[in-house]
Amino acid sequence: MAIAVDASSPVRWSGANTANGATFVSASFTPPNGSFIVIMVTNDTTTGESGAAYTLTGGSLTYTNRVERQGTETTTGGYSGIYTAPVVTGSAMTITLTRTAGTASTGRASLWARVLTGVDGTTPVDTVGASNEGGSTSTTLTTTSITPGANGMLFVADTDWNTKGVMTSSDLTIDTANYATAISVAAGHKTCTSGVGVTGSLTAGAAGPQHKWCQIIVREAAGGGGGGGITYPQLEGSIRGLNRGLAYRREESGLYLPDRTLVLPPPRGWPTRRAA
Amino acid sequence: MATALAIQSRAAGSYTSPDVSISKVGDREILVQGTGLSAADLADATFTLTQFVEANDSAGGNAGWYPVYGPDVWRGGSISRFTGQPIPPGFDFINEFTRQNSAARRLRLRVDSSRTATWGFDVTDAAAPTP
């Protein structure tokens, strides 16, 4: 199954980012079993603020902060971060962002989440490094090129701290909002190909923005592009019936192949040949 | 396209604007702007106005309404670092509209007020900006 955005994804939600303890709660939605949620968080901050902290909760899921660009980093001001959460059993839920530290009253916090299907259950997100975040004062921002380790989907989150209006993109499918006298934000995605460098482009609503961006690649499940390739759950059933005398290893492609270098001897006392 | 909740005193509760016909929701910039709030209400951190923008696939507006933005929880006392003044409620947005892009025919705003206050809202749209 190819990686895809599920129709259960909630729409953007936001709120006044007034003080420590403020919460920002999404509308209720019901992700499917085995799906994967990507949450893009964009916040206003005061000049160079690094004291604010946030946590994500909801649906009894485990949320992982994959990458973030803090208010103290270049360009100074504004925050963007991307979190993920795997869903084992889908049920009605909300996502809550809670501000847990920081004293400044600032304009807005704004979030956008996408529920994905067809995501690699073993390594859902590519390695994150220095190329996964940045700041820019260019009207049109192009994120640093990163090379996917598998086919998948690039996600980008961006806060324009100078509030130049709703953003546009020439290549990403985006969701964008503008909060007057606070921040402009955008989040978007596009598919990407294993081994082929990928960037995302976002254009501010007017000249003179101050972008604070970050990005990740969510990896497609093995066989996702092949139209019905073998998936891990299917293999689990069959692998139990495989020859006990052989070890199997999981290839990069996700397939399980006999590992001839790790042939195990039969347990002591077992016949090595069927009796005539 | 434009719709509004007129400026008037309202008790705590939920209020829905008249729904208006639209040719296409996807890729439209929708502007939601609160109006008429007093200085005291703008500065009151206990006062909230929760806004939802909803769309409908039926020309008559009788089928189910679904959210295209929200909630946006505006709270008094949120100070702009540009002006040093409280930020009024409101936002502009363009969303992905995966489901709604070609089907939505009606649009409306819903506002939940936490207490009695005088306020109004204007909702308008603009052509999609060109990247």
C-alpha span between B60 and B75 (Å, rounded): 34
pLDDT in tens, A186-222: 999 999 999 999 999 999 999 999 999 999 999 999 8
DSSP three-state, residue A104: coil
Long-range contacts at A145-148 (CB < 8 A, ≥ 24 apart): A145/A197, A145/A198, A145/A199, A146/A197, A146/A198, A146/A199, A146/A215, A146/A217, A147/A195, A147/A196, A147/A197, A147/A198, A148/A192, A148/A193, A148/A194, A148/A195, A148/A196, A148/A198, A148/A217, A148/A219
Q: What is the mean pLDDT of chain A?
A: 84
C-alpha span between A258 and A54 (Å, rounded): 46
pLDDT at A21: 83
Higher pLDDT, B96 or B85: B85
Q: Does A175 touch chain B (CB under 8 A)?
A: yes
pLDDT at B97: 54
pLDDT at A49: 65
pLDDT at A190: 97
C-alpha span between B13 and B69 (Å, rounded): 19
pLDDT grade, residue A241 (50/70/90)?
very low
Residue A123's contacts (CB-CB under 8 Å, 6 or more residues apart) are A149, A150, A219
pLDDT grade, residue A101 (50/70/90)?
confident
Q: Does B43 touch chain A (CB under 8 A)?
A: no
Identity of residue A8 = S
Q: Does A4 touch chain B (CB under 8 A)?
A: no
Q: Does B79 touch chain A (CB under 8 A)?
A: yes
Token pair for residue A118? 């067809």
Token pair for residue B12? 């705590």
pLDDT in tens, B55-93: 887 766 566 888 889 999 999 988 888 888 899 999 999
- Suggest the residue from B91, B95, B114, B124 to mutate for an interface test with chain A (most A CBs closer than 10 A): B91
Q: Residue range A63-68: average pLDDT?
A: 96
Set of chain A residues whose Cβ sits within 8 Å of the Cβ of B95: 11-12, 175-176
Q: Does A32 touch chain B (CB under 8 A)?
A: no
Q: What is the mean pLDDT of chain B?
A: 86
C-alpha span between A148 and A168 (Å, rounded): 24
C-alpha span between A49 and A103 (Å, rounded): 10
| Model confidence at A240: pLDDT above 50 | no
Q: Residue range A47-53: average pLDDT?
A: 66
Q: Does A11 touch chain B (CB under 8 A)?
A: yes
What are the Cα distances from residue A215, in Å, to A90, A117, A154, A157, A177? 26, 19, 7, 6, 18
pLDDT at A265: 53
pLDDT in tens, A128-158: 999 999 999 999 999 999 999 999 999 999 9
Token pair for residue A242? 């495989």
C-alpha span between A162 and A201 (Å, rounded): 18
Asked if residue B32 lies in contact with residue B53, where contact means CB atoms within 8 angstroms, the answer is: yes
C-alpha span between B4 and B2 (Å, rounded): 7
A108 Rama class: left (phi>0) / alpha (psi -120 to 50) / beta: beta
- Interface contact flag, B92 A173, Cβ < 8 Å: no
| Among candidates A13, A18, A165 on the partner chain, residue whose Cβ is nearest the Cβ of B45 | A18
Chain A residues 177-196 with a CB less than 8 Å from chain B: 177-182
Q: Does B80 touch chain A (CB under 8 A)?
A: yes
ipTM over 0.90: yes
pLDDT at B1: 74
Bridging pattern class, strands A13-17 and B65-75? parallel
- Interface contact flag, B131 A168, Cβ < 8 Å: yes
What are the Cα distances from residue A30, in Å, to A147, A193, B59, B119? 32, 29, 27, 34
pLDDT in tens, A249-267: 444 444 444 444 444 455 5
C-alpha span between B75 and A31 (Å, rounded): 30
Q: Looking at the complex, report in whole angstroms how far the Cα of residue B93 sits from the nearest Cα belonging to chain A.
A: 4
CA-based nearest residue to A215, from A143, A270, A162: A143
Q: Does A203 touch chain B (CB under 8 A)?
A: yes
- Interface contact flag, B80 A14, Cβ < 8 Å: no
| Among candidates B29, B68, B81 on the partner chain, residue whose Cβ is nearest the Cβ of A106 | B81
Bridging pattern class, strands A79-86 and A64-69? antiparallel
Q: What is the pTM assigned to this prediction?
A: 0.85
Identity of residue A198 = V
pLDDT at A225: 46
Identify the closest residue of chain B to A14 by CA–CA distance: B72
Identify the closest residue of chain A to B73 by CA–CA distance: A15
